[in-house]
Amino acid sequence: MDLLIWLIIIPLFTIFSIGIFNYINKKFVLPVVFTSAILQSGIAIYYIINRNNLLPQLYNVGNWQRDIAINLSIDNFTLVIFVLIAIMPLLSLLYSITEIQRKPAKFYLLINVLLLGASGMVMTADLFNFYVFFEIASISSYALVAFRDEDISLEAAFEYLIIGSIGSVFLLLGIVLTYQATGTLNMAMIPGRMAEIPVITRQVLMSLFIIGLGVKFALVPLHAWMPDAYQGSPISYIVLSSGLVVNVYFFVLVRILFIFFGVEFFQETIFTNLIVGWGVLSMLFGHGAALQQDNLKRLFAYSTIAQLGYVIIAFGLGTEAGIVAGSFHLISHALLKGAIFFTAGNLHKATGSYQIREMKGMAEKMPVMSIIFVLMLIAMVGIPPSNIFVSKWLILSAAVEAGYLLPAFMIVFGSFLSLGYYLRPVITIYTGYTGFPGKLPLLKFNEYFPTLLLAGICLIIGLFPGYILNIIDTAPEFLLEQSNFIIHILGG
Amino acid sequence: MPAITMNPGFILILVGILSIFMKNNKQRFILSMAGLATSLFIILGLPEGERLLTFVFLDFEIILLEVDVISRNIALVFVIFGAGAFIYSYKFCKKKEFPLVNFYLGFSFMILFVGDFISFFVAWEIITVSAFFLIYDINDAVRQHTAQYYILMHVSGGLMLLWGIILHVTESGSIILTMPERGLIFFLISIAVKLAFVGVHTWLPRTYANIPFHISVILSAFTSKIGVYGLYRIIELDNMLIAYFGAFSAILGVILAMTHSDIRKILSYHIVSQIGYMIIGIGIGSELGIVGGSFHIINHILYKGLLFIMAGTVIYSFGYENLENLGGLWKKVPITFVTSLIAALSIAGFPFFNGYLSKTMIKHSTDNQIIYYGMMIAGIGTALSFIKIMYFGFIREGNNPPMKKKPLFSMRVSMVFLAGIMMTMALLPEQMESLFNISTGINYFSAYEVWNGVQPILIGLALFPILQKTIEPHPEQPIEPDFYCDICNSFIEFDNKVSKIHTGDMVRYVSWVLFALVLLLLNFYVTSLF
């Protein structure tokens, strides 16, 4: 069954129906939003469960010839993101019910635009449509960052807008140059023609793609927008961003680099070393900057930057084990970081502030949330039996096998640094303090359920990593072998 | 007897989970004792030398049960001391401490019987985390600082272990717990942190002297011995270099111990020193050496535990632990005095006490003169510092601190129980040897051996009047800043600088983006030149 087009149709229709229902009767907005979110998750889960007999699948919009058509494709590598599409949006929307009290319809609308862009970016198989979806997702992100209408949000949104637009310009330049050089925008036809153009042109193209997309997944030093944006935006958006959207940008960059240029080209141009080194830099910088943050959201923003550094290292190795390890870390970091942000949001309910020093003594007021928070932070360092332990194990052994001993050791060192800054909120929360104002609001079901569910999923993945590894272990086939992807899109 | 093939650690972990739901300390205590009894029963019936309870995790075979003589004997003494510690401390334990102590004990048991690196690492790290929560206190800034120091130290050690395991596994392709083929140094660093080798021992006195006495009793008995056990599993060749390091640690430990005057600080530095003896035994690597080393672990758990119990009783009854404030206690707490005298004589290696047996075994396992004289010097130091504790704390007249509370009955029971077991072990050397499946042929109670054993103590006694002025008690700080704190502070300064460059200035951020692009292009240009 060709369900994949529905991942674009459903959010598109939801966007319009939210507008209409908001005008007719506001009561219908929530059911519409959740029906659409459940349907989207359902489609993703459907593809994950039936991966063996459905994948790879191609949807040809309008039934044109394959080389000029708008192709939507899904293969085993796409499943990495589908795992996140199945989980994160639904939980994030569930959490937003209480968090977004002002203009909820507008928020749901923007979130659906974002989801539309993200799903489109993952599935599209030509660069033109990719750029369209990329801009859809970006612009809705700018609006979502500004959503809270506070000084910091507006400033952050402006910052994000400027830096993001510069990134988009470079990306567009890259796409235009690709079209100039190869004469096509079909992602399956580019690789064959790319091999014929001069090396220096290919390298320029590569740089433009890296900068254009690197801005979006906060590659150091293109990361500057992220801490500010996270500090200013609602938790529901942060979870969706760090749990899905950032990963989608990274995913697309990986696909572009691997499919267009090929692994052999990386090895010829010492590109592998560059990317691994850059990942190490990104990781150390993120961990280093996080140590001194006073704001919990900023702290975790830097932590996200650092954790994506691990993923960059793993994919940069260019080996099968590296890709599996990187995909695993992408998923497990997204889930755990989502849970941590939800918990931070729950703790925030008591103090009304995300400043770490104002969370003093939370543990006595919210014992269960606090202990979950602490355990998840310790899990984030990679202490077993967490899912991060498994992913670190995979990344480390992939890196050592590929001969990158120093970067692998830096991963170990980075984990140690991360423990240093995770301890700060822990110690502040677990400090005796009596001067708490007033009575605490009770947590609602939709606030603690997403937290507990995500934490539970993380623990299960940590104990039984096979569930996720079975899904992603065929992912490298469509990255390392360009021919697999080309045959899949263009046919035999 | 029907044997249950089960890792005894799981029983205690289960007990830990159950004890969360118990109503009062008595129920939790009974449950914990039942857990210990069950695991004792299981340990006695475990088959030796087989690899059991295996399953597959990430393409590797996990072995959760692999028993040998040494791990079984250490587990037995863990049970005995665990029971003693529970009897001693159940009245003071807070609600959160029972589950944590049970987890801590459970994973300590588990690590003794696992047969592969992954589960070894898992248990290793969870021991650290549960100890962190035991040390941590919500209302005490000193304990918070200590806990932070503890977990940073131990997790850095644990990450070294992970790194070593990764190196070994990628080289050999198997995770069976054995002598590593690559990265031995990282295993050794990790173990050195866990067993508080001189140089990375700083967490140990800092921790054990600052936490409540009943927790220090439990932590001091197990943590560093797990490290020694890890050393035994990982070093399989005879390695004299390690034995020299052990002798070095033994001597430096006692020197540091003599300069302190908090009872628990002295005892902590003595752990460092006594661990040195175990390292010597394991480093020598002959059968006698390994048995001597692991027998010393067993003895050490008992007498050092008993000494920490003594320290706890003194703190409980008098409220002081600096020797400066104590004196003449032997009349007021006679049972404590007698049992701690037994423990002190044991640790000093006096004949007819249990430390003597294992020290003699280690001495007999090598002809190396450096090791012999190293142990001799360490023995003199040990004797000196215990004469110091006994003299300034119990015997000398002078300060006469008033007794606030009489030691509880349960405390006295546990002291007598442990002292009784120690004396039984000390007087039955042949049975002890048969427990280790070894026959040494050493005649422990011959005049020659006894004279050898008494020597360091006599020298210590002779030196004590001379050195009395230099090692006299003095007031102490709870936390002394050290080298590792300086490293952390310089990190924090560096990170301050890193976060200061995020000024919020848009021009700066945009220029970073452009800079990155230029750098990337330049990099490609430069690499294409060659």
What is the amino acid identity at position A104? Answer: P
What is the amino acid identity at position B186? Answer: F
Cα(B30)–Cα(B35) distance, integer angstroms: 9
Cα(B478)–Cα(B482) distance, integer angstroms: 13
Chain B residues within 8 A of A207 when measuring between CB atoms: 517, 520-521, 524
Question: CB–CB of A423 and B148 under 8 A?
Answer: yes
Question: CB–CB of A289 and B163 under 8 A?
Answer: no
Mean predicted lDDT score pLDDT of chain B: 85
Q: Phi, psi (5° rounding) for residue B96?
A: -70, -20
Cα(B238)–Cα(B123) distance, integer angstroms: 27
Residue with tokens 């030796």: B48
Q: Which of A170, A207, A401 sits opposite B524 (nearest CB)?
A: A207
Whether residue B462 is found in the same domain as residue B493: no
Q: Which residues contact A429 (CB under 8 A, 6 or more apart)?
A: A347, A359, A360, A361, A362, A363, A370, A373, A374
Q: Which of residues 123-152 of B touch A (CB under 8 A)?
A: 125-126, 128-129, 136, 138-139, 144, 148, 151-152
Whether residue B387 is found in the same domain as residue B403: yes
What are the pLDDT digits (tens) for A132-150?
999 999 999 999 999 988 8
Q: In sequence order, which ranges of A146-185 are alpha helices (DSSP H)?
A: 151-182
Q: Which of A206, A274, A400 sits opposite B170 (nearest CB)?
A: A400
Whether residue B434 is found in the same domain as residue B287: yes
Chain A residues within 8 A of B128 when measuring between CB atoms: 383
Question: CB–CB of A210 and B520 under 8 A?
Answer: yes
Q: Which of A208, A224, A291 sits opposite B512 (nearest CB)?
A: A224
Q: Which of A200, A207, A289 sits opposite B520 (nearest CB)?
A: A207
- Answer whether A412's CB lies under 8 Å from A404's CB: no
Cα(A235)–Cα(A91) distance, integer angstroms: 11
Cα(B75)–Cα(B65) distance, integer angstroms: 13
Q: Which stretches of chain B score pLDDT less than 70?
A: 1-3, 237-238, 398
Chain B residues within 8 A of A274 when measuring between CB atoms: 523
The model's confidence at residue A436, banded by pLDDT at 50, 70 and 90, is low
Element containing residue B406 per DSSP (H, E)? none
Question: Whats the size of chain A, residue-wise?
Answer: 492
Residue with tokens 């058509």: A69
**Domain membership flag for residue B174:** no
Cα(A402)–Cα(A315) distance, integer angstroms: 12
Higher pLDDT, A459 or B429: A459
Cα(A411)–Cα(A390) distance, integer angstroms: 14
Average pLDDT over residues A418-427: 88
| SS3 label, residue A59 | strand
Whether residue B325 is found in the same domain as residue B446: yes
Chain A closest-CA separation from residue B465 CA (Å): 47
Pairing outcome for strands B51-57 and A70-74? unpaired
Cα(B76)–Cα(B431) distance, integer angstroms: 15
Cα(A296)–Cα(A299) distance, integer angstroms: 5
Cα(B509)–Cα(B511) distance, integer angstroms: 5
Q: Which of B125, B492, B495 sits opposite A383 (nearest CB)?
A: B125
Chain A residues within 8 A of B125 when measuring between CB atoms: 383-384
Is the per-residue pLDDT at A11 higher than 60? yes
Whether residue B396 is found in the same domain as residue B459: yes
pLDDT recorded at residue B410: 85
Is A211's Cβ below 8 Å from some Cβ in B?
A: yes
Chain A closest-CA separation from residue B496 CA (Å): 6
**Domain membership flag for residue B494:** yes
Q: Which of B492, B495, B512 sits opposite A221 (nearest CB)?
A: B512
Picking from A163, A410, A412 by the largest number of B CB atoms within 10 A of its own CB, the best residue to mutate is: A412
Chain A residues within 8 A of B144 when measuring between CB atoms: 427, 430-431
Chain A closest-CA separation from residue B92 CA (Å): 20
Cα(A75)–Cα(A255) distance, integer angstroms: 12
Question: CB–CB of B162 and A412 under 8 A?
Answer: yes
Question: CB–CB of B528 and A203 under 8 A?
Answer: yes
Q: Omega of the bond prior to A56 within 30 degrees of 0, cis?
A: yes
Cα(B97)–Cα(B130) distance, integer angstroms: 10
Chain B closest-CA separation from residue A429 CA (Å): 9
Domain boundaries, position B516: 485-529
| SS3 label, residue A229 | helix
pLDDT recorded at residue B51: 77
Average pLDDT over residues A364-376: 86
What are the pLDDT digits (tens) for A264-290?
888 777 788 888 999 999 999 998 888
**Domain membership flag for residue B374:** yes
Chain B residues within 8 A of A408 when measuring between CB atoms: 163, 166
Identify the bridge partners of residue B519 per DSSP, sorted by sequence position: none
Chain A residues within 8 A of B502 when measuring between CB atoms: 224, 227, 289
Cα(A58)–Cα(A484) distance, integer angstroms: 13
Whether residue B410 is found in the same domain as residue B501: no
Whether residue B494 is found in the same domain as residue B475: no
Residue with tokens 């050898």: B452
Element containing residue A60 per DSSP (H, E)? strand A57-61
- Answer whether A66's CB lies under 8 Å from A489's CB: yes
Dihedral sign of CA atoms A13, A229, A169, A68 in order? negative
| SS3 label, residue A448 | helix
Q: Which residue of A has its CA nearest to B118?
A: A384
- Answer whether A16's CB lies under 8 Å from A95's CB: no
Q: Kindly state the percentage of chain A with pLDDT values over 70.
A: 98
Q: Which of A222, A227, A431 sits opposite B516 (nearest CB)?
A: A222
Whether residue B494 is found in the same domain as residue B423: no
Whether residue B457 is found in the same domain as residue B392: yes
Is B435's Cβ below 8 Å from some Cβ in A?
A: no
What are the pLDDT digits (tens) for A148-175?
888 889 999 999 999 999 999 999 999 9
Whether residue B512 is found in the same domain as residue B374: no
**Residue A442 burial by CB count (10 A; 0-12/13-18/19+): exposed, middle or buried?**
exposed
pLDDT recorded at residue A424: 87
Shortest CA distance to B193 belongs to which of B136, B105, B128?
B128
Shortest CA distance to B131 belongs to which of B157, B109, B150?
B150
Q: Phi, psi (5° rounding) for residue A317?
A: -60, -30
- Answer whether A422's CB lies under 8 Å from B176's CB: no
Q: Which of B122, B148, B494 sits opposite A385 (nearest CB)?
A: B122
CA B8 to chain centre: 20
Chain A residues within 8 A of B139 when measuring between CB atoms: 431-432
Residue with tokens 């102490």: B476
Picking from B189, B517, B518 by the largest number of A CB atoms within 10 A of its own CB, the best residue to mutate is: B517
- Interface predicted TM-score (ipTM): 0.90
**Residue A475 burial by CB count (10 A; 0-12/13-18/19+): exposed, middle or buried?**
buried
Q: Omega of the bond prior to B465 within 30 degrees of 0, cis?
A: no
Taking one residue from A and the other from B, the number of pairs with CB-CB distance under 8 angstroms is: 145
Higher pLDDT, A41 or B59: A41
**Number of structural domains, chain B?**
2
Q: What angle do CA B152, B86, B359 make, to 5 degrees?
A: 75
Q: Which residue of A has its CA nearest to B182?
A: A400
Shortest CA distance to B139 belongs to which of A347, A360, A367, A423?
A360
Q: What angle do CA B525, B527, B530 make, to 5 degrees?
A: 115
What are the pLDDT digits (tens) for A81-135?
999 999 999 999 999 998 888 888 899 999 999 999 999 999 998 899 999 999 9
**Domain membership flag for residue B7:** no
- Answer whether B71's CB lies under 8 Å from B9's CB: no
Is A422's Cβ below 8 Å from some Cβ in B?
A: no
Chain B closest-CA separation from residue A342 CA (Å): 23
Residue with tokens 């000494």: B307
When computed from its CA atoms, the radius of gyration of chain B, rounded to whole angstroms, is 25
Higher pLDDT, A250 or B482: A250
Cα(A126)–Cα(A67) distance, integer angstroms: 10
Q: Which of B138, B151, B498 sits opposite A432 (nearest CB)?
A: B138
Domain ranges of chain A: 270-475
Cα(B224)–Cα(B297) distance, integer angstroms: 10
| SS3 label, residue B93 | coil
Q: Phi, psi (5° rounding) for residue A56?
A: -80, 150
Is A277's Cβ below 8 Å from some Cβ in B?
A: no
Cα(A410)–Cα(B413) distance, integer angstroms: 52
| CB-CB neighbours of B424 under 10 Å | 12
Chain A residues within 8 A of B170 when measuring between CB atoms: 397, 400-401
Shortest CA distance to B305 belongs to which of B257, B337, B347, B244?
B347
Cα(B331)–Cα(B317) distance, integer angstroms: 13
pLDDT recorded at residue B3: 64
| DSSP classification of residue B329 | G
What is the amino acid identity at position B18? Answer: L
pLDDT recorded at residue A311: 93
Q: Phi, psi (5° rounding) for residue A188?
A: -85, -25
Alpha-carbon distance values, A120 to A4, A167, B67, B363 (Å): 10, 19, 56, 74
Shortest CA distance to A191 belongs to which of A419, A479, A383, A477?
A479
Is the per-residue pLDDT at A323 higher than 90? yes
Chain B residues within 8 A of A427 when measuring between CB atoms: 144, 148
Q: Which residue of A has its CA nearest to B155?
A: A416
What token pair was written down for A145?
A: 């960052």
Whether residue B383 is found in the same domain as residue B311: yes
Identify the bridge partners of residue A58 per DSSP, sorted by sequence position: A73
Question: CB–CB of A162 and B163 under 8 A?
Answer: no
